[in-house]
Amino acid sequence: MNRTELQSLGEFGLIRRISAGVTLQNPESVRGIGDDAAVMDVGSQYLLISTDMLVEGVHFDLGYVPLKHLGYKAVAVNVSDIAAMNGIPKQITVGLALSNRFSVEAIDELYEGIRAACHSYQVDLVGGDTTASPTGLILSVSVTGLVDKDKVAYRNTARPNDVVCVTGDLGAAYVGLQLLEREKRVFLANPDMQPELVGKDYLLQRQLRPEARTDFIHELRELGVVPTAMIDVSDGLASELLHICTQSGVGARIIEQKIPIDALTYDNAVELNLDPVTCALNGGEDYELLFTIRPGDYEKMKNHPDVAFIGYLTDQPQTVELVTEAGNAYPVKAQGWEHF
Amino acid sequence: MNRTELQSLGEFGLIRRISAGVTLQNPESVRGIGDDAAVMDVGSQYLLISTDMLVEGVHFDLGYVPLKHLGYKAVAVNVSDIAAMNGIPKQITVGLALSNRFSVEAIDELYEGIRAACHSYQVDLVGGDTTASPTGLILSVSVTGLVDKDKVAYRNTARPNDVVCVTGDLGAAYVGLQLLEREKRVFLANPDMQPELVGKDYLLQRQLRPEARTDFIHELRELGVVPTAMIDVSDGLASELLHICTQSGVGARIIEQKIPIDALTYDNAVELNLDPVTCALNGGEDYELLFTIRPGDYEKMKNHPDVAFIGYLTDQPQTVELVTEAGNAYPVKAQGWEHF
């Protein structure tokens, strides 16, 4: 039998291969693989469901990630997928595989974080599975949410001339990760060194304990705006924008100056010899919301202090461009993450 | 900080500890941790959700488990949890963590099994997550289902005098596992030995490719019977019966002769120096349905060829007994599984 290595496909290639053989049989199944969450028609509303795995040594390093933060983050990143569909999260289940290296007290700490996130996002922990693992810790969280049928936001429904918007700021989680990795190297080389993390709380918090933007979903309701498309920024702005453009069959022009980057992110990126814009475009794990609105909805949103209007969509599907201050346009490319 | 070992709590102890800190906040959350699936009120029906993890080296040995069967089983055991709530399964999500030891062709084989099970049970694969793992393969499947509100079957609603019923036969999956383990030892000792598995297909199939009893849920609808309580037999009859009795606050008398054991299971258990009744009581992984019905419903069901009536419930919560042919009564104890 032939052997094809996983790394030759990459994560997105593997997902495409898996999806290719899948058909939906049930009338309740409105949307399957290919968006932030699946959609099921349960009567007057749509049920949303999404799942995410976090694997020790791949997604987190317990050398600098406190278990409490890990528990919080595992819930937040799942809740973020429900927010990305314009939905309200309701319930989670937690699958946990762990080796006997972990004590009962360690599990208590993990669940303290999970419960704190459940409280923050008003979701209920309703079930799960706990089992042994030969090595390390694996968390698998599934989340359900609800959304009114006329408010669900997909990735493939953006239209030319829509305004491209993003909440909060980008790149901080990636810069935070680089700081933690640097401190780890310093610590391994010399355990007596003091960590140089004073004043960098915001960057560390964005990496270790990110928040899902459920708050903004409620604000969209109050503003009376339904995004034409939405996605959460887990892999970086470039990758997410390309998902919306490819799936919607549109192009985009993004104005570099409009990409929201916090001053602390900017300064620390430069100090780490990183380009701040690249951190925002390809860093990932910000869990902000990237969305598009009809030009007519811009008036309702233009004064929102936490939304940046970073560009607009075009009718040229193959052309997703970043326009620099000097007026040059460069194609936006997704770096993505190659786990294998 | 104190360190308490996981094995001092065991799986059920850990689940109790986790559940203790959990409260339900959302009005939609009808039932959380503690049954085969969680229950959410989505309007005219209840949504059911359950999740299960399968870990290489803990739940399966790829030395004798074909990946296609593993994929099928991962779906079937989750669907079984929906059946245990008297529900109809609708959708699954699959989380997959795997090391680069696995090829693309291996993943194709796994998903072939997943798709075959989706077809069998009419569930749609609607999402998931694929990621790297430092070692081995971990599958985390979540399943949703729907049930009419007046038909949901919990574990804690059985009543004294209810008739205890079980579908199919028990112990075969456990005997099948023992045969596979024996053949593995023989093969490791002498790779030229031919496996002695001829004529044992039923036992192997019960272990490697079990079926969820969704078929029986449809039959319950046709018979017009709603079980007073139900659970699927994943950990063994003894453990499941104790769950129903403890949670419902009732006792039980089970008649040993009535426990359904297939002739092939019986003969092979004896050949392996195992007590066939112990295999049925404590073997697990049969994925049959253990349920209770009102005495008045017995007439509707008594001629069903695939249901055994194995005893009845009493009003003595502390007394769950097995009555032997000689008329002696022994307390039923759960061996359960200690993963840690």
Residues of B in contact with A100 (CB under 8 A): 5-7, 340
Q: What is the pLDDT of residues B121-174, one digit of tens each?
A: 999 999 999 999 988 999 999 999 999 999 999 999 999 999 999 999 999 999
Considering only CA atoms, which of A131, A130, A152 is closest in space to residue A49? A152
Contact B55 A339 (CB under 8 A): no
Tell me which CATH code domain B6-148 carries.
3.30.1330.10
Of A29, A103, A133, the CB nearest to B58: A133
Residues of A in contact with B115 (CB under 8 A): 21-22
> Above 60 in pLDDT, residue A272?
yes
Q: How confident is the model at residue A338 (pLDDT cuts 50, 70, 90)?
A: low
Q: What is the pLDDT of residues A183-204, one digit of tens each?
A: 888 888 888 877 778 889 999 9
Considering only CA atoms, which of A230, A213, A233 is closest in space to residue A120? A213
- Number of Cβ pairs closer than 8 Å across A and B? 276
Q: What is the pLDDT of residues A302-319, one digit of tens each?
A: 999 999 999 999 999 989
Strand ordering across the sheet containing B251-255: B229-232, B289-293, B163-167, B307-314, B251-255, B320-323, B329-331
Chain A: residue whose CA lies nearest to B52: A129
Considering only CA atoms, which of A32, A108, A100, A139 is closest in space to residue B53? A139
> Above 70 in pLDDT, residue A144?
yes
Contact B140 A51 (CB under 8 A): yes
| pLDDT given at position B68 | 96
> Above 60 in pLDDT, residue A137?
yes
Per-residue pLDDT of chain B in tens (340 residues, 90 and over written 9): 679 998 888 877 888 888 888 889 999 999 999 899 999 999 999 999 999 999 999 999 998 899 999 999 999 999 999 999 999 999 999 999 999 899 999 999 999 999 999 999 999 999 999 999 988 999 999 999 999 999 999 999 999 999 999 999 999 999 999 999 998 888 888 888 777 788 899 999 999 999 999 999 999 999 999 999 999 999 999 999 999 999 999 999 999 999 999 999 999 999 999 999 999 999 999 999 999 999 999 999 999 999 999 999 999 998 999 999 999 999 998 875 555 5
Contact B95 A95 (CB under 8 A): yes
Beta bridge partners of A5: B103
Of A43, A52, A125, the CB nearest to B43: A43
Considering only CA atoms, which of B182, B148, B143, B145 is closest in space to residue B268? B182
Pick the CATH number of B163-331 from 3.30.360.10, 3.30.420.10, 3.40.50.300, 3.90.650.10: 3.90.650.10
More confident residue, A17 or B95: B95
| pLDDT given at position A187 | 84
ipTM reported for the complex, 2 dp: 0.92
Interface test with A, best of B8, B18, B22, B107 (most A CBs within 10 A): B18
> Above 90 in pLDDT, residue A334?
no
| pLDDT given at position A191 | 82
Task: List the domain boundaries for chain B.
Answer: 6-148, 163-331
Residues 121-160 of A with CB under 8 A from B: 122-136, 138, 140, 142, 144, 146
Q: How confident is the model at residue A60 (pLDDT cuts 50, 70, 90)?
A: very high
User: DSSP states of B158-206 as a string?
Assistant: --TTPEEEEES-SSHHHHHHHHHHHHHHHHHH-TTSPP--TT-HHHHHH
| pLDDT given at position A196 | 75
Please report, as a single letter, which amino acid is at residue A75.
Answer: V
User: DSSP states of B64-110 as a string?
Assistant: T--HHHHHHHHHHHHHHHHHTTT-EEEEEEEEEEE-TTSBHHHHHHH
Interface test with A, best of B41, B107, B131 (most A CBs within 10 A): B131
Contact B95 A97 (CB under 8 A): no
Judge if B6-148 and B163-331 fold alike in CATH terms.
no
Considering only CA atoms, which of B245, B79, B252, B227 is closest in space to residue B161? B252
Of B14, B129, B138, the CB nearest to A52: B129
> Above 60 in pLDDT, residue A337?
no
Mean pLDDT value of segment A151-157: 98
Please report, as a single letter, which amino acid is at residue B153.
Answer: A
Q: How many CB atoms lie under 10 A from the CB of residue B137?
A: 22
Mean pLDDT of chain A: 94
Return d(Cα B141, Cα A140) in angstroms, integer.
Answer: 9
Burial class (CB in 10 A: 0-12, 13-18, 19+), A336: middle
Tell me which CATH code domain A27-148 carries.
3.30.1330.10
**Residue B175 contacts residue B283 (beta carbons within 8 Å):** yes
